[in-house]
Amino acid sequence: MKKLFLKHDHFLPSLLSLAPSFDTATRTHAIDAYHQHQASSSFSNSSVKKERDLGDDQEVVLERVSSRVVSDEDEDGSPRKKLRLTKQQSSILEHNFKQHTTLNTKQKQALAEQLNLRPRQVEVWFQNRRARTKLKQTEVDCELLNKCYETLTEENKRLQKELQELKALKLTAPYYMQLPAAAGTLTMCPRCERVVNVGENPSTAAFSLEQKSQFFSHFTTHPSATCYANFL
DNA sequence: GCTGGAGCGCAAGTTACATCA
DNA sequence: AGTGATGTAACTTGCGCTCCA
């Protein structure tokens, strides 16, 4: 049992330049495995399994560090530079992605032919595109949550301050003389359970004597800043 | 009907290269 | 020219699903 470990990014050139210590059959097995890869549209786990099952008496293990190379090679055997999709290819892919974010085999094949790419490349592009979309959405969500957090923190601060004021107010009657400034605050009376957006209408900032009187009678029984708003 | 292996597609994470400031 | 940051093509790994013997 022979084990052949190949730790190269570009494993066909490695195979072709295998040390003479490996016999022809071994090299042939390894090269066959390479061609199996090339024929495969997907570099999935299954293809790895195939690599590891090449013969009865000889086991050629292609230990890939990276297999990106499989067809990323020029005819002269030198590593091909990383593919950059053209603007036209990208826009067509984008257009298709807008229509459906996943592709079935036929769609993938057709798109690959249209773009003069391998189906695997189209597949990878869609996978990466979905990942980018998800990442962007996560960033947007994160930003939104941060804003919510900031708003709630501010609201909390304001309410805490309001609470302090009310506590102080409670000690210094009469209430109607020191109405809390709670503009723009959503508050609820714990007794009558009415929610009011305090200060929604700036025109109500000024109290009439009658309003103050009403407020006073209510507030003495319901000592809450919320109830102050009920009289606006 | 249940089971295990093969095959496939996907998400998540990583690597490596191209490009740009 | 050299370099770090960024974008992205291509990859690996793990999981779930379906099909079939």
Q: Give the model's pLDDT for residue A139.
A: 87
- What the block records as the tokens of A22 is 């490996």
Instruction: Give me the CA A50–C1' C5 separation in Å, rounded.
Output: 39
A87 touches strand B (CB under 7 A): no
A133 touches strand B (CB under 7 A): no
Q: Is A115 left (phi over 0), alpha (psi -120 to 50) or beta?
A: alpha
Instruction: Give me the CA A142–C1' B18 separation in Å, rounded.
Output: 30
A115 touches strand C (CB under 7 A): no
Report in angstroms the alpha-carbon separations of A158 from A87, A99, A166, A172, A202. Answer: 52, 47, 12, 21, 19
Residue of A179, A156, A157 lying closest to A168 (CA atoms): A179
List chain A domain ranges.
11-71, 83-172, 173-232
A84 touches strand B (CB under 7 A): yes
CA A72/CA A12 separation, integer angstroms: 11
Instruction: Give me the CA A132–C1' B13 separation in Å, rounded.
Output: 13
A79 touches strand B (CB under 7 A): yes
A135 touches strand C (CB under 7 A): no
A50 touches strand B (CB under 7 A): yes
Report in angstroms the alpha-carbon separations of A31 from A12, A13, A53, A191. Answer: 7, 10, 13, 83
Angle formed by the axes of helices A105-115 and A119-171, to 10°? Answer: 110
Q: Does A83-172 carry CATH code 1.10.10.60?
A: yes
A31 touches strand C (CB under 7 A): no
According to DSSP, residue A73 is labeled B
Q: Give the model's pLDDT for residue A173.
A: 67
Instruction: Give me the CA A7–C1' C6 separation in Å, rounded.
Output: 29
Task: List phi, psi (to 5°) of A47.
Answer: -70, -30
User: Is the bond into A174 cis (omega within 30 degrees of 0)?
Assistant: yes
Task: Measuring from the CA of residue A84 to each C1' atom, give the nucleotide at the shortest distance.
Answer: C9
Mean pLDDT by 10 residues, chain A (232 residues): 30 32 34 36 34 32 33 38 84 94 92 93 95 91 90 97 92 60 47 46 39 42 40 35
